[in-house]
């Protein structure tokens, strides 16, 4: 297959320009321009310095364009990084809010438990406290692709401690969380 023929399976032209990178195409173009300008100098009426100056200007413009593209790519990467950092901060704040809600729920449950103990219903209230606070509502499901196991276990231990779950039932609750 030659450089100017069309590939029947894909329908694309298989030319040397498509295979080479941007810089090699520009270098080839500039080399061709140097050759044609030296031959066409007499036809156009340009002096020897003018085509060289033009070629040099084109090289500088191409170089500047590549530099601008690199700068834009760098700026986009920085924007992406800032966005990811901001999303991470939001997630951390949401986690803090959930922990505060958990603490609030814990304190209200303790107050309710104390009131119930004073009224003589301590056995019923302690059972009610553990039943109301199921691990499904307090701990999100563990996702192996996204979650860190150590952080998940620490979160579970905090919830178990705050909810005053018996140590014996902790593993059972973890299995169904």
Q: Which residues pair with 75 in a beta bridge?
A: none
Express each pLDDT in 49-66 by its tens digit: 677 888 889 999 999 999
Q: How confident is the model at residue 166 (pLDDT cuts 50, 70, 90)?
A: confident
What total of structural domains would you count in the chain?
1
The winner for highest mean pLDDT among 96-100, 109-113, 132-136 is 96-100
Express each pLDDT in 31-50 by its tens digit: 666 655 555 445 455 556 67
Instruction: Tell me whether residue 145 is in a domain.
Output: no
Q: What is the pLDDT of residue 125?
A: 46
How many Å apart are CA 37 and CA 44, to the nearest integer? 9
Q: How confident is the model at residue 14 (pLDDT cuts 50, 70, 90)?
A: very low
Instruction: Tell me whether residue 153 is in a domain.
Output: no
The three-state secondary structure class of 13 is strand
Q: What is the pLDDT of residue 133?
A: 60
Instruction: Tell me whether residue 50 is in a domain.
Output: yes
Enclosing domain of residue 40: 16-132
Who has greater pLDDT, 95 or 43? Answer: 95
Residue 23 has pLDDT above 80, yes or no: no
Instruction: Tell me whether residue 100 is in a domain.
Output: yes
Its pTM stands at 0.34
Which of 92-106, 117-131, 135-149 is predicted with the least confidence, judged by mean pLDDT? 117-131
Instruction: Tell me whether residue 58 is in a domain.
Output: yes
Instruction: Tell me whether residue 146 is in a domain.
Output: no
Which of 19-23, 83-87, 171-175 is predicted with the least confidence, judged by mean pLDDT? 19-23
Instruction: Tell me whether residue 2 is in a domain.
Output: no
* Average pLDDT of the residues in 15-35: 59
Instruction: Tell me whether residue 143 is in a domain.
Output: no
Residues contacting 172, CB < 8 A, separation 6+: none
Q: Which residues pair with 13 in a beta bridge?
A: 6
Which run of H or of E encompasses 33?
helix 22-44
């Amino acid at each position: 297959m030659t450089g100017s023929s069309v590939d029947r399976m894909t329908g694309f032209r298989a030319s040397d320009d498509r295979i080479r990178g941007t810089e090699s195409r520009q270098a080839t173009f500039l080399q061709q321009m140097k050759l044609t300008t030296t031959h066409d100098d007499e036809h156009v009426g340009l002096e020897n310095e003018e085509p060289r100056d033009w070629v040099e200007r084109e090289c500088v413009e191409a170089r500047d364009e590549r530099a601008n593209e690199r700068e834009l790519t760098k700026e986009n990467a920085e924007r992406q990084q800032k966005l990811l950092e901001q999303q991470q901060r939001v997630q951390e704040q949401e986690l803090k809010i959930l922990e505060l809600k958990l603490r609030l729920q814990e304190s209200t449950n303790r107050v309710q438990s104390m009131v119930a103990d004073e009224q003589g219903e301590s056995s019923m209230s302690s059972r009610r406290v553990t039943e109301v606070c199921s691990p499904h509502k307090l701990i999100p499901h563990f996702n192996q692709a996204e979650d860190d196991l150590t952080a998940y276990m620490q979160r579970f231990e905090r919830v178990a401690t705050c909810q005053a779950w018996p140590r014996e039932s902790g593993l059972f609750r973890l299995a169904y969380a």
